[in-house]
Amino acid sequence: MDAYDEDSRGPQGPVGSAGTRLPEEPPETPASAPPDPPRTGVAALSLRYQVGAALALAVVAVGAVVHVLMVFLSVAPANTVTKQHGKAVEEWVYPEFEQNWKLFAPNPLQQNIAVQVRAEVRMNDGGLRTTGWTDLSAQDGAAIDGNPLPSHTQQNELRRAWDFFSATHSTDNRPVGMRGSLSEQYLRRIVVMRLYRDDPTSREGRIRRVQVRSSTTNVQPPAWSGERVSDKPVYRLLPWWSLTADETAGGVR
């Protein structure tokens, strides 16, 4: 038995039945752990910046929740919260975030309303000049036409400002309620900014007063309806508004 065992082993290891030497098994090596994946995003920041990012996200989340809640309360039926904190809700929402549901009304708007403005400008040479009427709504329409991603400002800012003014003023342009003065200031601020930005005459001097008017034209019905409506514009002319010191100077320009 011992002789057989000795004959079956070669000088460098065991041999098979045909005299071939069998390969030796390689020594086992301990398996190394895979490397940790690289950190990305917030995890790649140091602890101090991670804490800062978490606080910033928390502030944004709280702000978003408060904003949604305020807008909801502004359009919700009267309730205990709005009765106690109605003033805070209005100060948050109006005028920039006011909601309008006229698209879903039983009788949607069937008129095109254009907001136009002219200004009295004190020129740099000391003269006083009154500009022609500038159709701000037409400018917004031209900017939106053919633009696949028009801005919210181009679509809604001027239109909502006029809706806000109309809802808080009587037909003789007198403010109704506490928000009447706010709506007038908001509309005046928008038209003055637009004049300084787009009107060449206004940029050559300093605007002293502005006058706003609306031009309302009926949307023509389809030919098959047989209905007839006037296609002549109806104007609503507002009084001249003098500008405040901030609006005349660098506060707006």
Q: Do 109 and 202 fall into the same domain?
A: yes
Q: Which of 30, 62, 93 is the last residue of a domain?
A: 93
Whether 194 shows a pLDDT value over 90: the answer reads: yes
Q: Do 127 and 64 fall into the same domain?
A: no
Whether 117 shows a pLDDT value over 90: the answer reads: yes
Q: Do 227 and 107 fall into the same domain?
A: yes
Q: Do 80 and 169 fall into the same domain?
A: no
Please answer whether residues 208 and 248 qualify as being in contact, where contact means their C-beta atoms are separated by less than 8 angstroms.
yes
Q: Do 192 and 141 fall into the same domain?
A: yes
Average pLDDT for 199-224? 90
Running DSSP on this structure, what letter comes out for residue 175? B
Q: Do 165 and 204 fall into the same domain?
A: yes
Running DSSP on this structure, what letter comes out for residue 169? B
Please report, as a single letter, which amino acid is at residue 170. Answer: S
Residue 251's pLDDT band (boundaries 50, 70, 90)?
A: very low
Predicted local confidence at residue 31, as pLDDT: 61
The answer to whether residue 28 is domain-embedded is no
Q: Do 89 and 117 fall into the same domain?
A: no
Cα 63 to Cα 200: distance, rounded to the nearest angstrom: 40
The predicted-structure confidence for 146-170, as pLDDT tens digits, reads as follows 888 888 888 889 998 999 999 999 9
Grouping H, G, I as helix, E, B as strand and the rest as coil, residue 210 is: strand
Whether 213 shows a pLDDT value over 60: the answer reads: yes
Q: Do 140 and 225 fall into the same domain?
A: yes
| Number of domains within the chain | 2
In the chain, the percentage of residues whose pLDDT exceeds 70 is: 78
The answer to whether residue 5 is domain-embedded is no
Q: Do 80 and 125 fall into the same domain?
A: no
The answer to whether residue 3 is domain-embedded is no
The answer to whether residue 6 is domain-embedded is no
The answer to whether residue 209 is domain-embedded is yes
Cα 151 to Cα 144: distance, rounded to the nearest angstrom: 8
Whether 102 shows a pLDDT value over 80: the answer reads: no
Q: Do 80 and 148 fall into the same domain?
A: no
The answer to whether residue 161 is domain-embedded is yes
Residue 236's pLDDT band (boundaries 50, 70, 90)?
A: very high
Please answer whether residues 235 and 215 qualify as being in contact, where contact means their C-beta atoms are separated by less than 8 angstroms.
yes
**Residue 18 CB: number of other CB atoms within 10 A?**
5
Q: Do 53 and 116 fall into the same domain?
A: no
In the chain, the percentage of residues whose pLDDT exceeds 90 is: 34
Cα 145 to Cα 140: distance, rounded to the nearest angstrom: 9
The answer to whether residue 163 is domain-embedded is yes
Q: Which of 72, 93, 114 is the last residue of a domain?
A: 93
The predicted-structure confidence for 1-41, as pLDDT tens digits, reads as follows 444 454 445 455 555 555 556 566 666 666 666 776 777 77
- Domain limits at 184? 102-248
Q: Do 57 and 151 fall into the same domain?
A: no
Predicted local confidence at residue 28, as pLDDT: 65
Predicted local confidence at residue 253, as pLDDT: 46
Please report, as a single letter, which amino acid is at residue 216. Answer: T
The answer to whether residue 15 is domain-embedded is no
